[in-house]
Amino acid sequence: MDARAKTGVSIRSAAKRYGPVIALDDVSLDIEPGEFVSLLGPSGSGKTTLLGILGGFVQPSSGSVWVGERDITFAPPHKRNIGIVFQNYALFPHMTVGENVAFPLRARRDPKAGWAKKVADALAMVELSGYESRNISQLSGGQRQRVALARAMVFEPQLILMDEPLSALDKQLRETMQIELRRLHRKLGATIVYVTHDQREALTMSDRVAVLKNGKLVQIDTPERLYDRPCDAFVASFIGEATLLDVRRAGDDAVRLGDAVLRTAHPLPRGERLLLAVQTEKLVIDGGATGPAANKLTCRVTEVLYQGESLRVFATLADGTSISLRQPGNHNARRRIPAPGEHMTVVLDPQDTIVVPA
């Protein structure tokens, strides 16, 4: 496991074209040894193509891929020493759990005498010790996912690739497995590249998140910085729930939204066309305890949607601009929400006042 944890990945100017269609456009990305990086983007963004290039299933039109000091750009998949967890797990139903996990050892002609210990160690890592003789049909969705992960780790690969492995699970199990995978990654220190279209999943699990759009790498950052400091309107709207509002520059650290002047704690981007990214979780109803630096907006409630753990409140500003905020679903928070048709004041902290180029 130590050798694997010391291996990073370098993608240099990778591109993939299918005739006139550009699936991946000059992407460069360095992944630190032992880092968990998620590739996040909508359908057609290039994330699956990039994962395919890393795994050897897609050959780049240009560029190179390095794992550690080794150029693997054109190496076949079975010679890359990479573990892969597919979206459908790709487990063999006619094999037991132990036989499934041992399959990569057999394919690599690893000495058979060591199979049992390696399989047992891999299953212990995913907390499935003693499951060697179980049939795949006897396992739950979460257990099958862990068997697929054990199979990907059993031969101690330099890199583990995961292609939306949790997408087939129900919401509750998916969220549980996100936490388990995060905990397992910390335990192993493995280098992992994970593809997902689920923003919350990427933010929950990753050390860094790489956002792709139309084959280009738009931004790579820690989950916190990605959410708090999106580089443009696409990232601001794609990560979380944000409403983009046209604003005008009102100085070095302020913008004008209608008649209101909002101050920001971050440098304003260049250019005259600016957008305020109003994230639903960052707006709060004014309770009278905020300081003088807080940005305040008066609005009229138009609709309140109950969504279980939270409530989505829709409102309009004086000029008719629509905004929304999300409030906790507990009783005390619900009492503070005005009824539709009533007015309220909402507060946006300067640290949460995010302005991006239009």
pLDDT tops 90 at residue 31: yes
pLDDT tops 50 at residue 203: yes
Q: Are 200 and 290 members of one domain?
A: no
Whole-number Å distance between alpha carbons of 63 and 344: 55
Whole-number Å distance between alpha carbons of 96 and 115: 14
Q: Are 154 and 46 members of one domain?
A: yes
Could you tell me the end-to-end alpha-carbon distance of the chain, in angstroms, rounded to an integer?
46
Q: Are 212 and 135 members of one domain?
A: yes
Domain, as residue range, for 25: 2-228
**Of the candidates 187, 206, 228, which is a domain's last residue?**
228
Q: Does residue 60 belong to any structural domain of this protein? A: yes
Whole-number Å distance between alpha carbons of 197 and 204: 13
Q: Are 50 and 162 members of one domain?
A: yes
Class of residue 252 by CB neighbours under 10 A (exposed 0-12, middle 13-18, buried 19+): exposed
Please name which of 52, 170, 147 lies closest in space to residue 92, comparing C-alpha atoms: 147
Of 45-49, 173-177, 178-182, 270-274, which one has max mean pLDDT? 45-49
Q: Are 25 and 87 members of one domain?
A: yes
Q: Are 220 and 79 members of one domain?
A: yes
Q: Are 79 and 168 members of one domain?
A: yes
Q: What is the pLDDT of residue 290?
A: 65
Per-residue pLDDT tens digits for 153-185: 898 887 899 998 888 778 888 888 888 888 888
Q: Are 153 and 267 members of one domain?
A: no
Q: How many CA atoms lie within 13 A of 249 on its CB side?
A: 13
Q: What is the pLDDT of residue 5?
A: 43
Phi, psi of 193 (to 5 degrees): -120, 125
Query: Which is higher by pLDDT, 143 or 217?
Result: 217
**Of the candidates 189, 204, 228, which is a domain's last residue?**
228
For residue 16, give the H/E element and its range. strand 9-18
Q: Does residue 236 belong to any structural domain of this protein? A: no
pLDDT tops 70 at residue 242: yes
Q: pLDDT-derived band of residue 291, with 50, 70 and 90 as boundaries?
A: low
**Of the candidates 204, 228, 252, which is a domain's last residue?**
228
Q: Are 320 and 211 members of one domain?
A: no
Quote the number of domains for the chain.
2
Q: What is the pLDDT of residue 3?
A: 40
Q: Are 38 and 81 members of one domain?
A: yes
Count other C-beta atoms under 10 Å from residue 319's C-beta.
Answer: 9
Percent of the chain with pLDDT over 90: 68
Task: Determine the average pLDDT of the residues in 248-252.
Answer: 92
Q: What is the pLDDT of residue 153?
A: 87
Please name which of 240, 259, 236, 207 lies closest in space to residue 355, comparing C-alpha atoms: 236
Average pLDDT along the chain? 91
CA 173 from chain centre, in angstroms, equals 17
Q: pLDDT-derived band of residue 2, with 50, 70 and 90 as boundaries?
A: very low
DSSP-derived pairing of the beta strands 242-249 and 274-279: antiparallel
Task: Give the Å distances, CA to CA, from 233 to 54, 99, 150, 265, 354.
Answer: 29, 49, 39, 18, 10
- CATH code, 294: 2.40.50.140
Q: Are 198 and 279 members of one domain?
A: no
- In 224-353 the beta strands, taken as DSSP E runs, fall at 242-249, 254-257, 260-263, 274-279, 284-285, 295-306, 310-317, 322-328, 343-348
Task: Determine the average pLDDT of the residues in 216-235.
Answer: 96
